[in-house]
Amino acid sequence: MDVSIIIINFRCSELIINCLHSIYTHTKKVSFEIIIVDNDPVNGDGESVRTAYPEVKWINMDYNAGFGRANNKGMAAATGKYFLLLNADTLLTNNIIDRCFDRMNSRPDIMALGALQHYADNTPMPFYRSFNEFRRTFFILPPGNTVDKIMHRLYPDPSHKDPQQYDWLVGAFIFTRREGYEKTGGFSEDFFMYGEDVEWSWRLGLLGKLCIFDDSTFIHLENKNPFRRTKISWINRFSTQMQVSNLLWIRKQYGVWSYLTLILHYISMIPVVYGWKIIHNLKTGSPVNDLDTQHIYLRKTKVLLRYFTRTLFLKKGMYKILEKENIDLLTSSQS
């Protein structure tokens, strides 16, 4: 078997059927198997997928295991020389799997390949090109050239000799050698959602290059989930679950001090964001008017602090926020 394609289902059978259609339409050269891991077999409507594509291998999880654990389950059952981890809400528009297979065969220096994401209208989707580019966004600082220069000096972009080499690959499309899974053990199972692809990319990158070629593209529809960020602002740019996972990644990859720096930063910004808004309000009316964004930031920071001890000491277990901690969902319908 050339390629094992692993897809996670969570109540998105229609998306999977469309995704599978695109795979069969555009993949002609390589032999492949498709493994679907269902994180919600009771409500996931898997029967419609199995009816349309009876040849797929189907694995039911006993609980919503999240992205990393479910993919690990699929990779453990895979028989291919290469693995492709593919989101359910994706569509292939060309023979990208065939070309990834050829490139991996001809480039032993590459451990894994990614692809450029496009929106449904086929326009490019922006993405972070390095670990440090991503890390710089974690700091809530006033925009401006001086601040940007300082942050770039503290967290510089890498310089790779290979122009196609990147620090990390987006989890929606990761084409890796089997040994990438076997030597790393796959995703860290502490992550529930978000951050796991960044952390695994770091460990994959220790084994070989991670590359993205300009002619490798796919459509990512970005299926809705209850952990998506809402009411996005300069100080609320991440969802609650996303930032819990991001901080776990920082702790695992960069250590205690990098993690503590961010936690102290978020705490110290609480009086700053309130003070700035109150001063601004004094010019127009009541000083305590329209503080919803600040309140959301405070509530999210409190959630991050609930995971402080666990993250600091890297306690094992899935870092999935509770329903009452999902501030984005709780505030999404508030005016």
Are 216 and 244 in the same domain?
Answer: no
What's the total number of domains in the chain?
2
Residues facing 83 on adjacent strands? 4, 176
Are 71 and 100 in the same domain?
Answer: yes
Residue 320 φ then ψ, to 5°: -105, 125
Interatomic CA distance for residues 17 and 64, integer angstroms? 21
Going from the C-alpha of 194 to that of each of 8, 148, 186, 222, the distances in angstroms are 14, 26, 15, 13
Are 208 and 250 in the same domain?
Answer: no
Are 193 and 276 in the same domain?
Answer: no
Going from the C-alpha of 276 to that of each of 203, 262, 281, the distances in angstroms are 41, 20, 9
Are 95 and 171 in the same domain?
Answer: yes
Are 188 and 313 in the same domain?
Answer: no
Are 286 and 215 in the same domain?
Answer: no
Interatomic CA distance for residues 335 and 331, integer angstroms? 8
Which residues span the domain enclosing 73? 3-129+166-220
Would residue 51 count as lying in a domain?
yes
Residues 162, 262: contact at Cβ < 8 Å?
Answer: no
223: which 2 tokens?
A: 């299926």
Interatomic CA distance for residues 58 and 70, integer angstroms? 12
Q: Which residue has the tokens 């998506």?
A: 228
Would residue 147 count as lying in a domain?
no
Are 7 and 116 in the same domain?
Answer: yes
Are 108 and 197 in the same domain?
Answer: yes
Q: What is the pLDDT along the chain (335 residues), one digit of tens a residue?
A: 999 999 999 989 999 999 999 999 999 999 999 999 999 998 878 899 999 999 999 999 999 999 999 999 999 999 999 999 999 999 999 999 999 999 999 999 999 999 999 999 999 998 888 999 999 999 999 888 999 999 999 999 999 999 999 999 999 999 999 999 999 999 999 999 999 999 999 999 999 999 999 999 999 997 666 666 666 787 888 999 999 999 999 999 999 999 999 999 999 999 999 988 888 888 777 777 788 899 999 999 999 999 999 999 999 999 999 999 999 888 876 54
Interatomic CA distance for residues 237 and 264, integer angstroms? 18
Are 249 and 208 in the same domain?
Answer: no
17 by Cβ neighbours in 10 Å (0-12 / 13-18 / 19+) ranks as middle
Are 245 and 205 in the same domain?
Answer: no
Q: Please list the helix, strand and coil fractions of the chain in percent, rounded to the nearest 5, in that order.
A: 45, 15, 40
Residues 35, 112: contact at Cβ < 8 Å?
Answer: no
Q: What is the CATH number of the domain that holds 178?
A: 3.90.550.10
Choosing from 174, 191, 220, the residue where a domain stops is 220
Choosing from 220, 255, 285, the residue where a domain stops is 220
Would residue 96 count as lying in a domain?
yes
- The reported pTM is 0.94
Would residue 136 count as lying in a domain?
no
Would residue 293 count as lying in a domain?
yes
**Start-to-end CA span in the chain (Å):** 53
